[in-house]
Amino acid sequence: MDNIHAPTVPSGPSSRPITNGNAKHLSFAELSQKKGNLEAELKALGGVLDSHGVNMDTPLTRDGFPRADIDVAQIRTTRAKIIHLRNDYKDLMNAIEKHLHEHFASLQDADDQPAAARTGAGMMGDSIQQTLDEPFAKVNSVVPGSPAYTAGLKAGDEIRNFGYVNKANHDGLKKVAECVQGNENQNILVKISRPAEATRRQELHLMLTPRQNWGGRGMLGCHILPI
């Protein structure tokens, strides 16, 4: 018998328009627009689950039978849509990260900063010229050998963006945890501001890959606090 808790996901290809094959041909502006659309749709679907008082893991049976106090069919359908959208979102973020890599690689030849400025694995560029979001969190500590350490995060770093999370939507850092859970073993672009001198800061882009079984607790190995 099928597991009633598991969303019903068709075995055929997703009907969603975002795939690796399509996304790579879009411009950065188009990718950004689709990213916003996906985030809005995921938020709306999350609201559907909230309206039923459930989440992606809430049991849908009681004493071995479907619960009568909730609409099990609608919840399973909504969960299935969320799974598809999360997969599409991962593909889309990979395409956006590729665009960013190519963009900053093209700027590197004209960059006056020495190559030694890239001090961490996955670190991209120093003093990046762009419109910066206001920091919303600060790195309190980083465990050596952790995914955060490998990415180049350091205590004192201020986080401007964590994937799709920023000051406007971080919701007390809950969205950071959501982003981490939804992107296990996937690259997340993290934009940070780091003290460099008394009156100067470095603006850095890091690629952080959350993963289990790295030898410590959690999937990041760092402790961050809201600002």
Q: What is the pLDDT of residues 61-89, one digit of tens each?
A: 988 899 999 999 999 999 999 999 999 88
Which sequence spans correspond to the domains of the chain?
Answer: 20-106, 120-226
Q: What was the pLDDT predicted at 34?
A: 81
CATH number at 120-226: 2.30.42.10
**Mean pLDDT (the chain, rounded):** 79
Is 80 exceeded by the pLDDT of residue 21? no
Cα radius of gyration (the chain):
20
Q: Contacts by 56-61 with C-beta closer than 8 Å and gap 24+?
A: 56/82, 57/5, 59/5, 60/4, 60/5, 61/4, 61/5
Mean pLDDT score, 143-158: 94
pLDDT surpassing 90 at residue 223? yes
Give mean pLDDT, residues 1-27. Answer: 47
Sign of the alpha-carbon dihedral angle for 207, 213, 215, 217: positive
Question: Does the pLDDT at position 7 exceed 80?
Answer: no
Phi, psi of 213 (to 5 degrees): 55, 35
Q: What is the pLDDT of residue 130?
A: 53
- Orientation angle between helical segments 28-51 and 72-108, nearest 10 degrees: 150
More confident residue, 143 or 106: 143
More confident residue, 54 or 105: 54
Query: What's the rounded Cα separation, in Å, for the pair 189 and 191?
Result: 7
- The pTM (predicted TM-score) of the whole model is 0.47
Question: Which residues on neighbouring strands pair with residue 208, listed in sequence order?
Answer: 188
pLDDT for the residue 23: 58
